[in-house]
A and B are shown apart, each in its own frame.
Chain A
Amino acid sequence: MTSLTIVSVYPEVLGTYGDSGNVRVLERRLAWRGISSTVLDVPLGAALPLQADLYVLGGSEDEIQHRALLALRESGLQSAVGNGAHVFAVCAGLQLLGNSMRRGDGSQVEGLGLLDAVTERLGRRVVGEVEARFVDAALPTLTGFANHGAGTELGPRARPLAVTTSGLGNGGQPRGPEGVVQGSVVATYLHGPVLARNPAFADWLLGRVVGRELRPLPSGPPEALHAALVGNR
């Protein structure tokens, strides 16, 4: 297979919670298998390359999220996804991919419409550790740290990525849906960064992009961290 292209979308503004680490994890786990990849950090204001295999979006503060959304509306990301590109988004990145979202000032803005999801402000900020069971993927427990002031409800075309077993889900509910899967778009509210904490999830995501299951890597620190966090050593 030829080299994969991963675009880190506006990492300087969509990266408040260390989410840029997700790109690092994906790139290294490919390299350690001998699969070459190119990571393009595309800053806000620059044109988004539209031929990439995977676009990665992270979390941000409210005002900056709105600026990123305005830029993404003009970026051509929707057509890239229409042509089969994959997207992995976290927190604010998840919210702006939906049909609409409510900003901190109460105004409602239209999202990119790549996820059948609507985001409204929550009465109380969701902050804390989350564990969740994957819904469709046969993967070990999802672990991460949620930190968001708005909650997301999924429409019929979107599937939850997981269901929380401890901590709060997308909409701030216990035992609620966590994350979203719709076509080639996978999104979650969880930081950590989430792919650093969940190596099997990272490999599952890469497998979808590459189009085949990847050979396992030797067990190491990521597996030790996952085991320690989910308490099933």
Chain B
Amino acid sequence: MTARTRARPVSPYDGAAMLAGRAAGSLSRLLRRGAGGTLPGRVALALRPQLIGTLSADRRLVLVSGTNGKSTTTRLLTVALSLVGPVVSNADGANLLSGLAAALMADAGGTGTAVLEVDELVLPAALRTMRPAVVVLLNLSRDQLDRVEEVHSHVGRWARALRESPDVHVVANADDPLVVAAVWEGRRSEVGVTWVAAGAPWRADAVLCPRCGDAWSLQGDAWACADCGLTRPDPSWQLGSGGELIDPTGASRPLGLALPGRASAANAVMAAAAADLLGVPVVEAIRSFSGIRDVDGRYLRVDVDGRDVRLLLAKNPAGWLEVLAQLTSDTGGILLGLNARTADGTDPSWLWDVPFEQLRGRRVAVFGDRSLDMSVRLHYAEVAHDVVPDVGSGLAALAGMPVNVAANYTAFVTARAALRAAAA
């Protein structure tokens, strides 16, 4: 898999579409209507839908998808692949087709590598139009059920898209039954698949076999469906029980990440497996990972008036499960943020799928548009807490101690701005 060297000339139609898109983006920025990030892509794709295929045609392209960990894995992979050549990425997290187009347009005519995170619902369209070299499949779990009715519908959509893209190499999480079902159905062979045992602590969406719907008992690491034969594949890469990376030779290496938590280590092993496939040796990949201290505010660590404050993102029950593990392994105060805007999913019922009981006895405060929903959840979990109007008041309520701030997407964005301002 070597990068092609010569760029195809940009057609006049593609050029015109990109020009219009960029003009719209500049105008938007000039008028201060939003960040203008995805607008160029949106306008250009509306004028020229095939543009996204053209823009990616002369590149070595890697797509990263799944419910959780897309941005972090994309960042890790970008840093590792940058060791061997130029890399473009949608580091702003705009992961719909418009965002992918915008990221590629920013370097139109380029022939280097592109590492793009892709929304799990958009992945089939991206696979069809962009012909990537590698796709990294992290995990699937319930998320935004007001918008995406059923998580299991992803399995069928991913499987169909993989069947129609036989040339793309798949790097997939062997521990997530939903991901495994999609890859099995999409490939029906192990050729062109690299299995990574990256773990999958959240299992509530795999209580029935995701392939045949049979009632199975999902226990331990080596699961199998007695009815249809879906079996946890033998992984070539693994996240070890002590948080270390185990490579295909069986060699064990400490990851030494600055990013905290089990999920970060899992993302790093997925990224290392993909990087290896694209020519970056594992030792060099790991070394490059250790320089990443935060991912667009995820895991951001700031000093606020002498206090250590860390920011965590958790958008859905599977994500919260990982974040709770981190909160309970750490000391200090906990500030939880909850919104239910369109980007978050407008129904926060999923809070009840998360074992917040684990926070009993800790100092906790809650903020956000839907702080009262979180407050009721904590009330029934018998976790004493304060309801505060904003991040600043939350830090004040948790005076004299280090604080972990954990919030869902739009509340996280608010907290990120507040913490950056407070630290400045």
Contact = CB atoms under 8 A, between A and B. Distances in A.
B351 A18 contact: yes
Contact of A225 (B207, B350, B375): B375
B207 A13 contact: yes
B312 to A, nearest CB: 21
B352 interface: yes
Contacts of A221: 372, 375-376, 378-379, 387
Interface in A2-46: 12-13, 15-21, 24-25, 28, 44-45
**For chain A, which range describes its interface: under 10, 10 to 19, 20 to 34, or 35 or more residues?**
35 or more
A3 to B, nearest CB: 20
A19 B349 contact: yes
A25 B208 CA distance: 27
A224 B372 contact: yes
Contact of B213 (A63, A222, A225): A63
The secondary-structure label for the interface of chain A is mixed
A196 B377 contact: yes
A47 B313 CA distance: 40
A28 B351 CA distance: 17
A63 B207 CA distance: 12
B142 interface: yes
Contacts of B349: 17-19, 21, 145, 191-193
Contacts of B376: 196-197, 221-222, 225
B264 to A, nearest CB: 27
A127 interface: yes
9 contacts: A17-B350, A25-B380, A44-B207, A45-B215, A128-B346, A145-B346, A221-B375, A221-B387, A225-B376
Interface of B: 142, 145-146, 149-150, 152, 204, 207-208, 213, 215, 346-347, 349-353, 372-373, 375-380, 382, 387
A-B pairs with lowest CB-CB distance, top 10: A21-B352, A18-B352, A18-B349, A225-B372, A221-B379, A145-B347, A221-B375, A191-B349, A12-B207, A61-B150
Given A18-B353, A220-B379, 17 more contacts: A13-B207, A15-B204, A17-B145, A18-B350, A21-B349, A21-B351, A25-B380, A28-B382, A127-B146, A128-B346, A147-B347, A191-B347, A192-B349, A196-B352, A221-B375, A221-B378, A224-B372
